[in-house]
Structure 1
């Protein structure tokens, strides 16, 4: 269930559970000033190689990761 500080969703492909996506706050320095969202994606073996995980990592034509997000967040 999605929450304020963390959450998890089920990935569905062809009407079947295909994995999960989890997000949580991550820190790399002082807790109150140096945090960002981290996203973990797990695709079950039977669904790998079909683009399920790749699709989850791209948005608006580009990959978004912690380094890019932290730079944009300023």
Structure 2
């Protein structure tokens, strides 16, 4: 049994294991499974297995964890260092993302999982800022991010190619002192 990071409301995070990858592929390889705001077409999933063998999806620049409800995997959370507001060694921030399997959406699991991920990242990495982006039409995710204390910074125009056209994204941020004060 894989060790869990922390639990809240029956939701926990743990390291991904080989049996999770088939379920992730199965759930996210369709528009219904991924959701319209996260469906970018079919993708090569061989990298999931290679990455698991390489570093168990826990790297210096990015990572992923399974979201579980009880013993069942119900999605995954990711973080990556794709933005530095200056020199990367001093000004990098994490960006987070969540994907919850369709049958489990609308229950607050994604919000809880993102909160657990924020706890994990601030506890284990000396980053000061975490950011999140979501499609302007993804109101549910905007509410989840705002519930966690993120501040809306603005709209990044036509930043994402999806479903044959460019889409605007909403940019949010959360600073370490804000998260600590809320806890």
Normalised TM-score (structure 1) = 0.69
How far apart in 2 are the matches of 1:49 and 1:68?
A: 23
Relative to structure 1, the CA distance from residue 4 to residue 37 in structure 2 (aligned partners, 3 Å threshold; closer, same or farther) is same
Q: Which has the larger radius of gyration?
A: 2
Q: Indicate if the aligned counterparts of 1:58 and 1:64 stay in contact, CA closer than 8 A.
A: no
How far apart in 1 are the matches of 2:84 and 2:60?
A: 20
Q: Report deviation, 1:28.
A: 5.9
Normalised TM-score (structure 2) = 0.32
Is 1:69 the counterpart of 2:175? The answer is: yes
Higher strand share: 1
Higher helix share: 2
Query: Could you say which residue in structure 2 is the equivalent of 1:11?
Result: 67
How far apart in 1 are the matches of 2:94 and 2:148?
A: 15
Q: Tell me the number of residue pairs that the alignment of Structure 1 and Structure 2 aligns.
A: 70
Q: Indicate if the aligned counterparts of 2:111 and 2:148 stay in contact, CA closer than 8 A.
A: no
RMSD over equivalenced CA pairs, Å: 2.7
2:59 match: secondary structure: coil
Is 1:23 the counterpart of 2:129? The answer is: no
Q: Which runs of 5+ in 2 are unaligned?
A: 1-56, 120-146, 151-171, 178-183
Q: Report deviation, 1:2.
A: 1.1
Structure 1, 48-57 or 18-27: larger mean CA deviation: 48-57
Q: Which runs of 5+ in 1 are unaligned?
A: none
Q: Indicate if the aligned counterparts of 2:77 and 2:114 stay in contact, CA closer than 8 A.
A: no
Greater relative contact order (Cα 8 A, min sep 6): structure 1 or 2? 1
Relative to structure 1, the CA distance from residue 52 to residue 29 in structure 2 (aligned partners, 3 Å threshold; closer, same or farther) is same
How far apart in 1 are the matches of 2:72 and 2:114?
A: 20
Query: Could you say which residue in structure 2 is the equivalent of 1:36?
Result: 93
Relative to structure 1, the CA distance from residue 4 to residue 42 in structure 2 (aligned partners, 3 Å threshold; closer, same or farther) is same
